[in-house]
Amino acid sequence: MKQVLIVRTDIKMGKGKIAAQCAHASISAYEKTPFAKKNLWKISGQKKIVLKADSEKELRDIEKTAQMKNIKTALIRDAGHTQVEPNTVTALGIGPDEDGKIDEIVRKLKLL
Amino acid sequence: MKQVLIVRTDIKMGKGKIAAQCAHASISAYEKTPFAKKNLWKISGQKKIVLKADSEKELRDIEKTAQMKNIKTALIRDAGHTQVEPNTVTALGIGPDEDGKIDEIVRKLKLL
C-alpha cells in the first residue's frame, strides 16, 4: 500500500509551501479512502512518495485515470494568500491504495 | 484552528523528503485529535503552517509543552532507507487546535 503526492513544479513554491500542499493532499485523499485500505496502509507504515508534474493538465489527466480505476484522489487548490495566485491547483493526492494499481498511473513521473 | 508541522533543519533532507515527513506528521497528529476539533479545522480550510527547528531536542521540548497543554502531537521517525540514518526524528505535527493555544507554543520558531 502507498500514497502518492504529486506537486506542480511549473509554479514557484518554497519548500515549506510544498510541504503544506502535500500535507493537505495527503489528508484529503486519505479521508476519502475506505476504512480497510486506510488501516492496511497505516499498519504497513504509511508509505508516501512525493512526485512532480509539469502542469495543471498533467495533474488533471492523472486524476482522471485514477478515478477511472476507482482510486481516491484529492486535487488541491491554494487560497493563494502568499506565493501563488488565488485558486491555483498546486498538488494531487492519490490513495492510499495497492502499490501495483498506483504504479500503473504514475509510472512516468519523477521523484520531487 | 490550525495545525503546525515542524521540520528539523539540522539534518539534510531534500524537498520531497521534507514534504513526505510533513504529510506523515500531519496525518498522525490529525488522527489523534478529537472529532470536534478535526471537523472545525476542516470546515475552516485545514490551515497548516510549516516551521523549522534546529535540533531533535528542540522538537522534543515543544512536544512536551504541547502535551502539557493537552494538544495532540505526533513525533515522526524516519525508517531511513534513503536520506537519513534509520530511526532519525525528522518532524513534529501539532494539532489541529485553537490558534492561540498553538501560537503560545511555537511563537519563537520561524517559517520553513
Say how far apart CA A6 and CA A29 lie, in whole Å. 12
Sign of CA dihedral A63, B13, B28, B54: negative
**Is the link from the previous residue into B96 a cis peptide, with omega within 30 of 0?**
yes
Q: Does B74 touch chain A (CB under 8 A)?
A: no
Q: Chain B: nearest CA to A96, how far in angstroms? A: 12
- Cβ atoms of B89 and B79 within 8 Å: the answer is no
> Where are chain A's structural domains?
2-111
Please state which CATH number belongs to domain A2-111: 3.40.1490.10
User: Helix, strand, or coil here: A94?
Assistant: strand
In tens, the pLDDT along A29-57 reads 999 999 999 999 999 999 999 999 999 99
A7 lies within 8 A of chain B by CB: yes
- Encode pLDDT of B17-65 as tens digits: 999 999 999 999 999 999 999 999 999 999 999 999 999 999 999 999 9
* Nearest residue, CB atoms, B27 vs list A7, A19, A30: A30
